[in-house]
A and B are shown apart, each in its own frame.
Chain A
């Protein structure tokens, strides 16, 4: 656990970067600090490992005051991933990864063996070990950066906009893998980003900070979308909040409709016979949906051939049975036939659902949420505690 206790950073010129920040980053969870430039998020992060020293206040790492002891010792126990990876250009990938174990006195052979394992863990092939950072792409460098931060197996990781310098496709990939890795490792992570979508995607809890270095709201992503604390947070979280919030609502058991399908390679005439409203769903040999075939547009002489991938409309997205309402609604909205395709966990076809069916589910859920919100408002009016957990003090940890 990392705990900020009324932490302030004031520079000699009078600028206040962070102002009496109280915040708890719970063990084993991802806490995302997000906010516009100048909100003090990076300063806050860097005060944890004393890259920047606070002007006042304390930061606790479990029951240890970070201000005590040597900064270099503190930092060797905290993983750090920096924006542009910040790899050492003069060292091979494997030596970059082995940096902290070597500093801690691990033998070179052992450190390298560990580093090799870690490379695999972050999805880099072993033959990258002897390359130099400049020979890697930005995304690959960032993977090495993550491996380097993990090398000494620190319980705490600090990540400073680690995925912001790579292109969107690679970023999404890195985010997915980061979540998978965290699922395995369960580190206490503080993650800084200016991208609210990234914050919502990655955070177990999200701390929205405002310019001047104060905490605007600390909440789970779903809460942030559905109950922004004030106009600033609402504005920062941005548009489509309602739609995006559906991404945190499990779809539950949707009323699936079975659908006659054809396999790739079957006769086109069969596909025409099975079409509903002019569209037939095409699957492969494993029953995995491949796309929709629009039979009305087919020329008469083309109907003698067989179903090939080139004929398919690929516009529809797929939603999994255990997915969210957002996925299900998107599947329905994006489908050319108007029927959203739902698949089993393994990817095989489960059934279809229409937008109105998903909406009915959303309405039902919203009614439940409204009910809850009414009791919440009643709580607040009655002077009950709010959901801002940042101000909780753990008396037992005070010196």
Chain B
């Protein structure tokens, strides 16, 4: 225990910097991925024939090994090899891959009666989407987002292999030096970060869906 603590103290500034990089890479990709997945998920739900190809495509993207994606990104984007943007874009792609299906399923989980009532009350299509359909989908979308967040946090560390420094650097150091301490410390920090992301999303969903609590309390 004290070894971990000592290591942490000794490498304080490095670890703080790496943690911060991990947070913004994983978090930024999560937000960007959600923003892109929302219209795609809407499309898959609104025009059902687009659902199978979109969801299949998303599944295919998710099966590409992360290291391959990180390495090919500079070629695709025309960025520098060591640019952290490569990692951010790759993680965004994973998030989109996970979230397209979640968003489509979330939107289609709204009952037909509720949608018909909304139309009959005089909501336009757009008002209905933003005032009725999307808010009711929040629990489903939130659940998918939690999975994507945890997956992002753990995937970021792979980026060390393409030279982008973040918490994964602890694992590289540990294996290079044959030392266990940085590896264990890295695992702990990554787990804490994953929990933190999870908690933030959970709290956000709770704040946005007071009606769900009321239903449970019944």
Contacts and interface: CB of A to CB of B under 8 A. Distances in A.
A170 interface: no
A73 interface: yes
A72 B211 contact: no
Contacts of B16: none
Indicate the member of B119, B124, B209, B218 with the most A CB atoms within 10 Å.
B119
A80 interface: yes
Interface residues of B, number: 21
Given A51-B119, A132-B211, A134-B218, A86 B113 contact: yes
Contacts of B119: 51, 75
Contacts of B211: 89-92, 132, 134
Interface string B114-130: 10111111111001000
B114 A89 contact: yes
A82 interface: yes
A51 B136 contact: no
Indicate the member of A72, A85, A92 with the most B CB atoms within 10 Å.
A72
Contact of A135 (B116, B120, B121, B218): B218
Given A131-B214, A135-B218, A86 B123 contact: no
B113 A85 contact: yes
Contacts of A72: 122-124
A86 B116 contact: yes
A255 B116 CA distance: 54
Contacts of B214: 131-132, 134-135
B135 interface: yes
Nearest to B112: A86
Nearest to B135: A90
B117 A88 contact: yes
Contact of B121 (A75, A84, A85, A89): A75
Contacts of B122: 72-76, 100, 103
B120 A80 contact: yes
A287 interface: no
Chain A interface size range: 20 to 34
Contact of A90 (B117, B120, B123, B209): B209
Chain B contact residues, majority secondary structure:
helix
Interface string B82-124: 0000000000000000000000000000010110111111111
B121 A103 contact: yes
Interface string A120-144: 0000000000011011000000000
Contacts of A82: 113, 116-117, 120
B10 interface: no
A80 B136 contact: no
Contacts of A148: 121
A134 B214 CA distance: 8
B142 to A, nearest CB: 13
B124 A80 contact: no
Nearest to B114: A86
A128 to B, nearest CB: 12
Given A72-B123, A86-B116, 12 more contacts: A51-B116, A82-B113, A82-B117, A85-B113, A86-B114, A88-B132, A88-B136, A89-B114, A89-B136, A92-B211, A135-B215, A135-B218
28 contacts: A49-B120, A51-B116, A51-B120, A72-B123, A72-B124, A75-B121, A75-B122, A80-B120, A83-B113, A84-B111, A84-B113, A85-B117, A86-B111, A86-B116, A86-B117, A89-B136, A89-B215, A90-B132, A90-B136, A90-B209, A90-B211, A99-B121, A103-B122, A103-B127, A134-B214, A134-B215, A135-B214, A145-B117
Interface of B: 111, 113-114, 116-124, 127, 132, 135-136, 209, 211, 214-215, 218
Of all A-B residue pairs in the complex, the 8 with the closest CB atoms, nearest first, are: A86-B117, A76-B122, A80-B120, A86-B113, A75-B122, A134-B215, A132-B214, A132-B211
